[in-house]
Amino acid sequence: MKKLLLALALVAFAITIRAESWTDQYSQYGKLFVVKLDTAPFPHPKRAQGHKYGTNFYSTEKNYSDNSVGIFVPKGFRRTDKVDFVVHFHGWRHHVENTFSIYHLVPQFVDSQRNAILVVPQGPYDAPDSFDGKMDDENGFKRFMTDVRAAVEKEGIIGTEPIGDIILSGHSGGYGAMSGIVARGGMNDNIKEIFIFDALYAGTEDFMSWFDHNPNRRMINLYTAHGGTKEETEKLIAAVKERKPPVSYIAENEDKITTADLKKYQLIFIFTPLEHDLTPYEHKSFQQFLETSRLPSIKVAESPKAEHP
């Protein structure tokens, strides 16, 4: 028993050291830290027996037990009377560390110059699964964000300021978390914008119900020809065209969309020639959407210009 406890302690220590080492690479841009939260997506009862996809099995221990949450605070972040957040959900077969690195989230976030905090929860760990655990529960997102805000306060970054505006962002299978959140998450009054990166596979009614509830909300849907989202997106565009009264929207190819368009329209459909996995970063779309968002700007002089790989 003592040997087992020692082994578990060593594993936990190794995981902690690993988390510290990979986050250090972003220190020139701000503070990236990882916390473990009971309100994070997993573990969850619906994956207590693991999950089978095709002929492959994904276990609870390996794929549905990590409650890590990556939190990034840019240099120059200013405390105000509220705290704004951008919460990004990764797609299939990813985890927090490679979501930050592959999609260049920190450089894009820094270059957007937004005075907000970036949050990346661990979804299904390296598994092909769009179910995002507690984010699908009634008021699950509200409990999660309460704990995220408390974690940021514990780091001494903020005081007792309440949660302000929230932007939901998701790539590919991340749609499951976002649609569940706007349907049942309990924070729709705070969620002002949604960025969908080739991820409109389902949940369309949930997204549109959220959008229709307030005319000042903005939703951007970036989609591709072969990512599996084109048909659903085109159905939605056709439905939007027939709406009475008319909705403020634009549906255009990526090379035709301007910064002015992104600021003018509330409902934005963008077709990109990019491959599915490149959509969040190859053309710096995450950065561009943030730059044109409602989030306040940060002081440029206090935030370094990031170098993109």
Q: What is the pLDDT of residues 48-58, one digit of tens each?
A: 999 999 999 99
Residue 245 confidence class, pLDDT cut points 50, 70, 90: confident
Q: What is the pLDDT of residues 137-173, one digit of tens each?
A: 999 999 999 999 999 999 999 999 999 999 999 999 9
Q: What is the pLDDT of residues 186-210, one digit of tens each?
A: 999 999 999 999 999 999 999 999 9
pLDDT of residue 307: 56
Query: Does residue 302 carry a pLDDT above 50?
Result: no
With a CB cutoff of 8 Å and minimum separation 6, the contacts of 42 are: 64, 65, 66, 67, 122, 123, 124, 125, 133, 134
Query: Does residue 264 carry a pLDDT above 90?
Result: yes
Q: What is the pLDDT of residues 93-104, one digit of tens each?
A: 999 999 999 999
Query: Which 3 state secondary structure label does DSSP give 79?
Result: coil
Residue 299 confidence class, pLDDT cut points 50, 70, 90: confident
pLDDT of residue 4: 37
Q: What is the distance between the alpha carbons of residues 193 and 89, in angstroms, rounded to a whole number?
A: 14
* Mean pLDDT of the region 243-265: 95
CB 35 within 8 A of CB 145: no
Edge-to-edge strand ranges of the sheet holding 191-197: 30-36, 68-74, 117-121, 83-89, 163-171, 191-197, 218-223, 267-271, 249-253
DSSP-assigned states of every residue in 202-258:
S-HHHHHHHHHT-TT-EEEEEE-SSSS-HHHHHHHHHHHHT-SSPP-EEEEEGGG--
pLDDT of residue 18: 53
Which residue range(s) make up the domain with 20?
2-302
CB 223 within 8 A of CB 278: no
What six digits make up the tokens of 218? 């903005």
297 lies in some domain: yes
Please count the structural domains in the chain. Answer: 1
Residue 304 confidence class, pLDDT cut points 50, 70, 90: low
Q: How many residues appear in the chain?
A: 309
Query: Does residue 309 carry a pLDDT above 50?
Result: no
263 lies in some domain: yes
Question: CATH code at 106?
Answer: 3.40.50.1820
15-26: burial string, b at 16+ Cβ within 10 Å, e else: eeeebeebbeeb
CB 284 within 8 A of CB 264: no
308 lies in some domain: no
Whether the bond into 245 is cis, omega within 30 of 0: yes
Query: Which 3 state secondary structure label does DSSP give 84?
Result: strand
Query: Which 3 state secondary structure label does DSSP give 140?
Result: helix
CA atoms within 13 A on the CB side of 304: 13
223 lies in some domain: yes
* Mean pLDDT of the region 174-190: 98
142 lies in some domain: yes
CB 30 within 8 A of CB 77: yes
For residue 304, the tally of other CB atoms under 10 A from its CB is 15
Task: Report the first-to-last Cα separation within the chain, whole angstroms.
Answer: 47
pLDDT of residue 49: 97
pLDDT of residue 17: 47
150 φ/ψ angles, rounded to the nearest 5 degrees: -65, -35
Q: What is the pLDDT of residues 29-48, one digit of tens each?
A: 999 999 999 999 999 999 99
18 lies in some domain: yes
Whether the bond into 43 is cis, omega within 30 of 0: yes
**Average pLDDT value over all residues in the chain:** 92
With a CB cutoff of 8 Å and minimum separation 6, the contacts of 287 are: 107, 108, 109, 111, 112
Query: Does residue 13 carry a pLDDT above 90?
Result: no
145 lies in some domain: yes
233 lies in some domain: yes
pLDDT of residue 215: 79
